[in-house]
Amino acid sequence: MAIQEKLLTAELRTPCYVLDEAKLIANGEVLKGVQDRTGCRILLAQKAFSNFNMYSAIAPYLAGTEASGLFEARLGFEEMPDKECHVFCAAYREDEFEELLKYAGHIVFNSPSQLKKFGERAKAAGKSVGLRINPECSTQEGHEIYDPCAKGSRLGTTLAQWNSEMTEQLISQLDGLHFHTLCEQNSDALETTLGAVEEKFGAYLSRMKWLNMGGGHHITREDYDIELLERCIIRMRDKYGLQIYLEPGEAVALNAGYLVTTVLDTLKNGDTDIAILDMSAACHTPDVIEMPYRPPLYKSGEKGEKPFTYRLGGPTCLAGDIVGDYSFENALKVGDRLVFEDMAIYSTCKNNTFNGMPLPDIWAAKADGSYKLLARFGYEDFKYRLGSSTPEA
Ligand SMILES: *Cc1c(COP(=O)(O)O)cnc(C)c1O
């Protein structure tokens, strides 16, 4: 029986997330295959998925973690010990840098000035040092907030900035180059991007030990062209003598989570049938509004595809707290359960308690079929994000 079907009757208190250990392992096996065949190393980008209770399930298939700053670096260091810990941050803080050096083995800078400021200290601490480059090669359309190559982007060093600021002394501090320009893309976009990377920065690649090709590779998606990815990796590896890193977030936990919710009420406005759920798009699936996108919902169709169409929304006061319009075989009634899919990535790690919404419980569906409660939240988690219980302290 599909796990979604089981979740309809599992009697877990809703709303709740369920993380699918078997699917995480299946994704891990795909990623391990790429590493075994090419010698590349794959890191988990924790900004997409930082449910550390599940790290022990995926660690055997990964070389380590990638962090966006101090807290994620510490999490990777603590929860995936004995593995590599890489960090990239658009700007490091002076008051955090010493602590960061305790956790991260690879430190990637965003600009020549950050490299100038911190590079020597990182080298003296024995770290592998990199610079994020911007190959100025947009391969995606529609989602400008997810395009680090968009005009005026703050992410990565352009060739013009490299040429004006990268002295020989700074270049000699570098062990590697890093780029991250993709989002939910196939390997043809990587191939195009590598063309731009070589054209602009090719002269420096053979002086490096490693090249980190960032995330956004949708490697575990069914139609992903893994063979082309592997040809790209092997070509760069052999042509320039590089250790290749990839740091996908989504691909590690793609389709490995669910959000189970219950219908609290149904109502009608004109021709629109509406169902109020016990989950909120604004709080529990913020990317639905931010990206925006339409999450898959088990046993549902597009608007009008099945006999009963509903606009699904949350219980908050935000007019736009809408997941979308979905259709069903039967009319929805109070107490019905719905299972949103692909809810492991960019979900729990982006949750908030806007409007006093509780944070959903988080469960693991273990590979042996049992459920394990990983986290349960309450009133205190809402209240004490806004103030201290001892304000004078
Ligand atoms: C977001 C991010 C990733 C992961 O991206 P996915 O789209 O989740 O694969 C990797 N590296 C960096 C620097 C990122 O900002």
- Cis bond upstream, residue 360 (ω within 30): no
| Backbone φ, ψ for residue 378 (5° rounding) | -145, -165
37-69 pLDDT tens trace: 999 999 999 999 999 999 999 999 999 999 999
| Nearest Cα residue to 48 out of 350, 319, 267 | 350
**Which residues, other chains included, contact 53 with Cβ-Cβ below 8 Å and sequence gap of 6+?**
364, 374, 375
pLDDT digits (tens, 9 = 90+) for 92-119: 999 999 999 999 999 999 999 999 999 9
Choose the residue to mutate in 86, 140, 180, 218 for probing ligand 1, maximizing ligand atoms within 8 Å of C-beta.
Answer: 180
> What is the residue whose two structure tokens read 């877990």?
12
Joined together, the tokens standing for residue 259 give 């959000």
Split at pLDDT 50, 70, 90, the class of 393 is low
Between CA 350 and CA 353, with CA 352 as vertex, the angle to 5 degrees is 165
Q: Is the pTM of this model over 0.95?
A: yes
Contact between 231 and 244 under an 8 Å Cβ cutoff? The reply is no
Tell me what the mean pLDDT of segment 190-219 comes to. 98
| Res. 133: pLDDT tops 70 | yes
Residue listed under structure tokens 């809810």: 343
For the Cβ of 346 lying below 6 angstroms from any atom of ligand 1, the answer is no
**Strand (E) or helix (H) holding 78:** helix 70-79
CA 354 / ligand 1 centre spacing (Å) = 26
Query: Does the beta carbon of 283 lie inside 6 Å of ligand 1?
Result: no
What share of the chain has pLDDT > 70, as a percent?
100
Question: Is the preceding omega at residue 292 within 30 degrees of 0, hence cis?
Answer: yes
Q: Is the shortest distance between the CB of 148 and ligand 1 below 6 Å?
A: no
CA terminus-to-terminus distance, the chain: 53
Minimum CA distance residue for ligand 1 atom 8: 249
Place of tokens 């919710």: 261
Ligand 1: which atom is nearest the Cα of residue 182? Answer: 7
At residue 392, the pLDDT reads: 72
248 lines ligand 1 (CB under 6 A): yes
88 Cβ below 6 A of ligand 1? yes
Whole-number Å distance between alpha carbons of 35 and 42 = 7
- Report the alpha-carbon distance of residue 154 to residue 148 in Å, rounded: 8
Which numbered atom of ligand 1 lies nearest the CA of 108?
13
